[in-house]
């Protein structure tokens, strides 16, 4: 359920993180302050311990000096008492020793006063440390109480939001279940219809297979008939082509007028009414002719370039729309001989 809530409401996690971020920052700040205070206390205690050790060492040295002076004084006293009469002059040194002893007593009193001051400073520092610890503890308790209050508020709000979203989620789940039941009923109906359709399709496939076999048999029979018809049509086409070739040969023989001519180099000669031929150059080795053909009535010129022997040069006259053929049969150095075929208009009965 928690995973579904997180998937359907991805923004709630971000909102909770945004709400708890100030509390986390404040808690981190309080922890940093406490750590700094503890470090300061440790440093102050270390310095105080160092000063106490130094003072104790000085006191020990001072007491050692005092004890040494006392022992010296006692030794001198004992030694002087035994030889008081013999060493009368040494008695004059006793006031100086007494002065030294008094000076040492003053120094010892000053040292004791310094030690008392150090003890007072230690007591003051201890009181200040106690007060600092009380302030830090109070701040820490306040921060903890505030953080706990914020956490309780945020937790309550998160629980309220979760409850609301769970209610909406349960409502959606109910809707989904109802839709799912309707979908299952619809799917069952569709499955029934699909089963009926499959049976109909199976029947239709069987009918189609039967009709396809009948069509294939009919196609085979029709193919055989078509082959027979095609062979017959091919035979008829061949006969038609043969008759057409014969008819064209007869038409060509009946519809042409052949006019022979002989022309000389660099001279223009009339080879038929209105048709003039000029031979400009002849190539006997290769049997080719260069020149031109002129239709005087139409004012047109056809250029002849490299026309070989027995090659046909065709042209059409515009006046009667007739095709003419020019053929050179022999080519010499002085000129060429050939013929001109004029296609005559045949009677309609001959063309048919």
Kindly compute the dihedral angle of the four CA atoms of residues 17, 21, 27, 28, in this order, to the nearest 10 degrees: 110
Residue 189, in any domain of the structure: no
Do 18 and 164 lie in one domain? The reply is yes
pTM: 0.30
Q: The tokens of 330 are what? A: 């022999």
Q: Which domain holds residue 58?
A: 2-175
Q: Of 144, 175, 206, which marks where a domain is finished?
A: 175
Contact by Cβ (8 Å): 128, 120: no
- Which pLDDT score is estimated for 284? 92
User: What pLDDT is attached to residue 270?
Assistant: 92
Percent with pLDDT over 90 in the chain: 18
For the ranges 133-147, 163-177, 194-208, which has the lowest average pLDDT?
133-147
Residues 53 and 162 in one domain: yes
Question: Tens of pLDDT along 67-88?
Answer: 888 788 787 667 655 655 555 5
At a CB cut-off of 8 Å and minimum separation 6, what does 236 contact? none
pLDDT score recorded for residue 304? 94
**Confidence band (pLDDT; 50, 70, 90) for 352?**
very low
| Shared-domain flag, residues 31 and 120 | yes
Q: Domain check: are 144 and 247 in the same one?
A: no
Number of domains in the chain: 2
What's residue 350's pLDDT?
34
Determine whether 328 is exposed, middle or buried from the number of CB atoms within 10 Å of its CB (0-12, 13-18, 19+).
buried
Of 129-133, 233-237, 267-271, 302-306, give the lowest mean pLDDT range: 233-237
* 346 pLDDT higher than 70: no
Query: Is a pLDDT exceeding 50 seen at residue 256?
Result: yes
* pLDDT for 39: 84
Does 278 lie in the same domain as 152?
no
At residue 334 the predicted structure's pLDDT band, cuts being 50, 70 and 90, is very high
Contacts of residue 261, Cβ cutoff 8 Å, sequence gap at least 6: 269, 271, 277, 337, 338, 339, 340
What average pLDDT score do residues 154-179 get? Answer: 86
Question: What was the pLDDT predicted at 244?
Answer: 59
Residue pair 314/332 in contact (Cβ under 8 Å)? The answer is no
DSSP 177: H
In a domain, 276, yes or no: yes
Same domain? 136 vs 269: no
CA angle (280 as vertex; 275, 282 as ends), nearest 5:
110
Report the alpha-carbon distance of residue 59 to residue 147 in Å, rounded. Answer: 51
* Residue 98: band (very low, low, confident or very high) from pLDDT cuts 50, 70, 90: low
Q: Does residue 125 belong to any structural domain of this protein? A: yes
pLDDT confidence of residue 152: 85
The pair of three-digit structure tokens given for residue 297, joined into one six-digit string: 């009535």
- 169 and 247 in a single domain? The answer is no
pLDDT at 248: 54
Contact 330/316 with Cβ under 8 angstroms?
Answer: no
Chain centroid, CA 244 distance in Å:
74
**Mean pLDDT lowest among 19-28, 76-85, 277-286:** 76-85
Q: What is the mean pLDDT of the chain?
A: 78
Q: Give every CB contact of residue 319 below 8 A, 6+ residues apart in sequence.
A: 297, 298
* Confidence class for position 289, pLDDT limits 50, 70, 90: very high
Residue 265 is given by DSSP the state B
Q: Verify that 12 and 114 share a domain, yes or no.
A: yes
73/109 Cα distance (integer angstroms): 19
Residue 97, both tokens: 């020793």
Average pLDDT for 210-227 = 82
Residue 283 sits in a domain whose CATH number is 2.60.98
In this prediction, residue 348 carries a pLDDT of 38
Residues 27-64 pLDDT 10s: 787 788 878 877 877 887 788 778 778 777 877 887 88
CA dist 36 and 288 (Å) reads 123
Same domain, 88 and 10: yes
Higher pLDDT: 342 or 87? It is 342
Residue 320 lies in a domain: yes
């Amino acid at each position: 359920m928690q995973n579904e809530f997180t998937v359907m409401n991805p923004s709630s996690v971000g909102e909770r993180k945004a709400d708890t971020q100030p509390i986390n920052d404040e808690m981190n700040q309080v922890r940093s302050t406490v750590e700094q205070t503890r470090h300061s206390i440790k440093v102050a205690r270390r310095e105080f311990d160092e000063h106490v050790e130094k003072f104790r060492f000085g006191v020990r040295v001072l007491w050692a000096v005092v004890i040494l002076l006392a022992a010296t004084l006692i030794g001198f006293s004992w030694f002087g008492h035994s030889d008081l009469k013999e060493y009368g002059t040494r008695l004059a040194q006793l006031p100086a020793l007494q002065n030294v002893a008094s000076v040492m007593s003053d120094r010892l009193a000053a040292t004791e006063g310094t030690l008392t001051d150090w003890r007072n400073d230690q007591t003051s520092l201890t009181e200040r440390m106690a007060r600092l610890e009380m302030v830090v503890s109070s701040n820490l308790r306040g921060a903890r109480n505030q953080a706990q209050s914020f956490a309780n508020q945020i937790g309550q709000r998160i629980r309220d939001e979760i409850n609301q979203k769970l209610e909406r989620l349960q409502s959606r789940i109910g809707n989904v279940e109802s839709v799912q039941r309707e979908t299952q009923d619809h799917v069952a109906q569709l499955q029934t219809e699909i089963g009926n359709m499959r049976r109909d399709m199976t029947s239709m496939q069987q009918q189609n297979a039967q009709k396809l076999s009948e069509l294939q048999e009919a196609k085979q029979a029709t193919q055989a008939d078509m082959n027979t018809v095609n062979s017959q049509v091919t035979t008829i086409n061949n006969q038609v082509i043969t008759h057409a070739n014969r008819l064209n040969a007869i038409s060509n023989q009946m519809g042409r007028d052949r006019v022979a001519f002989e022309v000389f180099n660099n001279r223009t000669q009339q080879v038929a009414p209105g048709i003039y031929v000029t031979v400009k150059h002849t190539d006997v080795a290769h049997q080719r002719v260069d020149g031109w053909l002129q239709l005087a009535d139409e004012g047109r010129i056809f250029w002849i370039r490299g026309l070989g022997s027995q090659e046909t040069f065709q042209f059409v006259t515009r006046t009667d729309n007739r095709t003419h053929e020019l053929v050179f049969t022999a080519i010499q150095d002085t000129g060429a001989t050939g013929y001109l075929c004029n296609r005559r208009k045949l009677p309609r009965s001959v063309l048919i």
